[in-house]
Amino acid sequence: MDKIKVGIIQHSSVHQNLKASVEKLTDLLAQAARQDIQMVVVGEGWLSGYPVWFDYIPEAALWNYPPTKKLYARFRENSVVIDGPEMKHIRALAKKYEMVLSLGMNERVEKGLGIGSVYNSLVLIDANGEIVNHHRKLVPTFTEKLVHAHGDAAGLKAENTKVGKVGGLICWEHWMPLNRQALHNDAEQIHVAMWPNVHEMHQVASRQYAFEGRCFVLAAGQMLKAKDLPSELTLPENLAANPEQYVLKGGSCIIAPDGRYIVAPVFDKEDIITAEINLEEMYYEKMTLDTSGHYYRPDIFSFSVNRKRHDF
């Protein structure tokens, strides 16, 4: 098999500004194309910003807190509509550069039920510009429940793309064992692991996933400085004293099917992190472990997935 050049965009978006974030992504994808990257990953909630403020500004989670309510309206307004103009523009870029793109976003709906809700979503765009998968995070984690709705399993699958069969999970979905099994059963070759920060335990989960699934893992982290936290909220003293410090520090890395690092975690740096991978390496490792084959016991365990899309 030919080698594939993959890349993770570890740059901050323009938080809570969809228009500016799309403009920045346009420039970053052009940079990736100039580096001949065939598959690009852009992290969790990148369009237009992971809601990290709950971790650093405790009053933001208070019941009926006016600044947070105002912020939520802006958060929703700067979320992405799947068939909206921003996604059409991004799909056109993927087609122009013949690039597979896995993109994290906050997603809103504009018609039907649930128009006030926002999903934590992952969209996979093939090199022809077509959306081949659209996954909504099944269970928002902890304070994410204040801004994100529950997703479904319509996108809990791996899909064929120009670079191989690609799947993905968002953050703590990696600790839901049946999620992992669903993607292993889909013969996933490249897995996208989206996180806010890829800190130590997120590294453990990402490396475990690669080892268990015998696949390549692109673990994507986020970047954000304290000064870029939402203007509706007041920074605590420790952040206000050093607004240039990162509160989201990245940690993106690329992991081989035996769990080793191809590219070790990169922290505190905005960059496009790249590597060449050879999909044949998967089969070196499947000799000893194939969790959907010779290490799978369907005669003992039954397994099914309800992949029906739900819209409230």
Catalytic residues: 44, 137, 171
Q: Of 275, 276, 256, nearest to 266 (Cα)?
A: 275
Tell me 186's DSSP state. T
Q: How far apart are the first and last CA of the chain?
A: 44
**Cα 255 to Cα 158, 281, 293, distances in angstroms:** 18, 12, 22
- What Rg, from alpha-carbon coordinates, does the chain have? 19
E strand or H helix that includes residue 176: none
Q: How many CB atoms lie within 10 A of CB 160?
A: 12
Distances (CA, A) of 231 to 17, 22, 57, 61: 12, 20, 12, 16
153 in Cβ contact with 169 (< 8 Å): no
What residue type is assigned to position 236 of the chain?
Answer: P
**Cα dihedral 108, 110, 112, 115 sign:** positive
